[in-house]
Amino acid sequence: MTTMSPSYPPLPASTSTPAAESSSSHSAIVPAPSRAGLIVQISNLRHELARAQENERRAREAPRVSSDRREQAEQRLLDVERENQRLQAAVSMETIRGDAYKASFDRNVEERTQDNVEASEVVATLESQVEEQNQRIQDLQLVVDRQTADHDILSSRADESEGRVAELTAELTVATTQRDE
C-alpha cells in the first residue's frame, strides 16, 4: 500500500528552520537574526505543533470509530451467520419431517399429497430465507472489507501525523534552545 506524505504549509520566510538554513549555506546552524525572530519562529512552531497534535488526535480517533463500526458489522455478520445456520437446520428438519410424512401417511393418497405440499412450501420458504441471509452475509462482508481498508488508511495517516509531531517537537526544542542562548 502506497502512503502519501501529508502536505504542510511552508513556514514564513523569516521563520525558516535551522535545517533549511544549514542546507543553503555550508556552515553550521546559523542563528536567527534576532531574539524577536526566534520568538516569532517559536510561536509559529508552537501553533503548527498544536495543529499537528490536533490532526494526530483526529487521525487516532478516526480508526477507533472505524474499528467500532467494523466490530458492529462483524457482530451483525456473526448474528446473520448464526441465523443462517439456524435456518439451514430448520430446512434440514423440515426436509426430514417431510420425508417422514411421505413414509408414514400411506393410508390415504390425499393426506400424503397434502402433507408433501405443506412440507415443500415450508422448505421453499426456508430456502428463500437462506438465500436472503446469504445475500446479507455477502453485503456485510463488503462493509467489513471497506471498514478494514478505511482503518488501514487512517492508521497510516495517524503514523504520518505522529512523525510530523516528532519533527515539530524537535524543531521547537531547537528554536527554544536558540532563544534561551
Sorting pLDDT into bands at 50, 70 and 90, what band is 22? very low
- Res. 27: pLDDT tops 60: no
pLDDT at 112: 66
Residue 105's pLDDT band (boundaries 50, 70, 90)?
low
The answer to whether the beta carbons of residues 43 and 162 sit under 8 Å apart is no
Dump pLDDT digits (tens) for 28-37: 454 545 788 7
Q: Is the pLDDT assigned to residue 38 strictly greater than 60?
A: yes
∠ CA 91-79-150 to the nearest 5 degrees? 135
pTM here is: 0.31
* Alpha-carbon distances of 33 from 15, 40, 66, rounded to whole Å: 10, 12, 47
Domain boundaries, the chain: 34-180
Listed in sequence order, the DSSP H helices in the chain are 18-24, 35-104, 109-180
Domain 34-180 grouped into CATH 3.20.20.220: no
Cell, residue 142:
463488503
Give residue-wise pLDDT tens across range 1-19: 444 444 444 444 444 444 4
Identify the DSSP state of 9: P
